[in-house]
Amino acid sequence: MDIDRICMACMKEKNSSLICNHCGFDSSSFVLEPLYLKPKTILNGKYLVGNGIGSGGFGITYVGLDLNLDFKVAIKEYMPRSFAIRKAQQTNITPLSNQEHGKYNKGLKKFLDEAKTLAKFNSSNNIIGVRDFFTENGTAYIVMDFLEGCDLSSYAKTLRRPLTYDEITSLLGPCFDALNTVHSSGVLHRDISPDNIYITKNGQPILIDFGAARQFINQNDGLSIILKPGYAPEEQYRRQGKQGPYTDVYALGATIYHMMVGKTPQDSLERLEMDRLIPPSNMGVNIPSIAEKALMKAMAVRSKDRYQTIMEFKNGFFIKSQLQTGKNILARSAGYLDGKDKETKNKKYKKDVYYKEIKNLTKRLLFNIKSIFKGVPNAKCSAYDFKSKAKFLIDSLFQKIDGLIQKIDGLSSDKSRQSIILIRILVLSVFGLCFLLIVAFISLFFVII
């Protein structure tokens, strides 16, 4: 294999000496980032280092190639830039001063412990796999599977909209199980965020960057940890803050919240002073109320008020999945249900869910009508355009509510159908009143103008 013909961006053999015919990378315009290893460096006698693809406070990640297996890999290098340096044109990393040696060596040991920790979970399909680790150049390296895809944050940006409840449960469901595996081994991730959940090209979520992963017993080592505001719970900001699975519960809840509403949640330290975290349904998000309560509980400021395990969070949040698979909450709490009693209670549970969804849709309607009213004085549109927009909003939400009422009708007995008719009349009256108010508002506004 001619290394000079290997593209340092995609690690494939190219035809041209400068421009890659596979990915288009032009090596003539490449500029080496400070502190990065020079491309084409060979590590441990068999790993070819390519371009840097990411960095954090404690490490740099490169694309690489296993020269023995001709296999593309990711290579993570221990590089704590706050107290270590690599001089230009050199490969060795050294602490900034003699006083930093102890901290550097302790961090190096933790880095290698991370490799050993990740290696425990190589059988999991949703945790980044470790292929090798070793020391060299005064530092350490972890060789991992190279993932094709993008992180969750970038994935959401490609959609150009927040993710729906159904999309989140489908996409991130495996992350709950992966974290349960991690926690069962006495390990915490401690850095969950949209940046550290990778979505492969086939839609599989992978937990990455366990750079903050630590054994429970090693919480007072004095090493600083870089935290991400909005995702880190308040106990991570305190040196003596007790951490546990509930720490990852908060971070995963915050990640879901961000994906659902389209913005980073209020930081946990700010919430200690004044909690302004707005429930998703109050921002027009369509989410079952039970699932929303589970999400808000997972993001409780104080750890004692949260779910204590990741599976408790999953069981509370996955409402629709439980209905589809027949996992009835009433059946779990009672221990067993059989015959007609089971069928009756299951119907009652479904009706309760549908009623709560009607309530959420009504909240969403009022929220959007308020938004329309708020925007009228500055809107550059005709009265007809505004009226059409308002009518479309009312019609679409009414159709959803009427659909839910029909589902309830299908689950109801003949004795209760009269109450269903009354509900329909009430809903029609409310929506009719809303429509009349909008028309009156439009007329009054354009008369004044």
- pLDDT, one tens digit per residue, over 46-62 is 999 999 998 877 889 99
Lowest mean pLDDT among 81-90, 351-360, 376-385: 376-385
Residue 181: CB atoms within 10 Å: 17
Beta strands across the sheet bearing 59-66 = 42-43, 47-55, 59-66, 71-78, 139-145, 130-136
Q: How confident is the model at residue 339 (pLDDT cuts 50, 70, 90)?
A: very low
> Among 262, 259, 236, which residue's Cα sits nearest to residue 248?
236
| Stretch among 37-41, 84-88, 224-228, 237-241 having the lowest mean pLDDT | 224-228
The pLDDT score that the predictor gives to residue 326 is 37
Residue 320 has pLDDT above 60, yes or no: no
> Based on C-alpha coordinates, what's the Rg of the chain?
27
Rounded average pLDDT over 281-304: 96
Q: How far apart are CA 417 and CA 272, in angstroms?
A: 48
Mean pLDDT for 26-39 is: 91
Q: Which fold has domain 32-145?
A: Phosphorylase Kinase; domain 1 (3.30.200)
Q: What percent of the chain has pLDDT over 90?
A: 52
Least confident stretch, 48-57, 278-287, 299-308: 48-57
Residues 240-250: what's their mean pLDDT? 93
Residue 409 confidence (pLDDT) above 70:
no
**What does the alpha-carbon distance between residue 269 and residue 227 come to, in Å, rounded to a whole number?**
12
pLDDT band at 361 (very low <50, low <70, confident <90, very high): low
What pLDDT, on a 0 to 100 scale, did the predictor assign at position 379?
43
pLDDT score of 448: 61
CB neighbour list of residue 52: distance below 8 Å, 6 or more residues apart: 33, 36, 37, 60, 61, 62
Kindly report which listed range (135-144, 210-219, 386-395) carries the lowest average pLDDT score: 210-219
Q: For 28-42, 190-204, 256-270, 341-355, which range has the lowest pLDDT when averaged over its residues?
A: 341-355
Give yes or no for residue 212 having a pLDDT over 90: no
The greatest distance separating any two alpha carbons of the chain, rounded to the nearest whole angstrom, comes to 84
The confidence score (pLDDT) of residue 354 equals 58
How far is the C-alpha of 428 from the C-alpha of 447, rounded, in Å? Answer: 28
Does pLDDT of 295 surpass 70?
yes
List 139's β-bridge partners, or say none: 136
Nearest in space to 443 (alpha carbons), one of 371, 370, 435, 369: 435
Q: How far apart are CA 215 and CA 420, in angstroms?
A: 56
Strand ranges (DSSP E) for 16-168?
42-43, 47-55, 59-66, 71-78, 84-85, 94-95, 130-136, 139-145, 149-151
Which H or E run contains 215? strand 214-215
CB 173 within 8 A of CB 325: no
- Going by pLDDT thresholds of 50, 70 and 90, the confidence category of residue 362 is low
Q: What dihedral angle (degrees, nearest 10) is formed by the CA atoms of 161, 165, 166, 167?
A: 40
Q: How far apart are CA 115 and CA 98, in angstroms?
A: 27
- CATH number of this structure's domain 149-327: 1.10.510.10
Span 132-159, pLDDT tens digits: 999 999 999 999 999 999 999 999 999 9
Mean residue pLDDT across the chain: 80
Residue 279 in this model has a pLDDT that exceeds 70: yes
CA distance 434 to 237: 47
Rounded Cα gap, residues 361 and 380, in angstroms: 28
Region 31-43: mean pLDDT is 94
Quick one: average pLDDT of 27-34? 90
Report the pLDDT value the prediction gives residue 219, as an integer from 0 to 100. 44
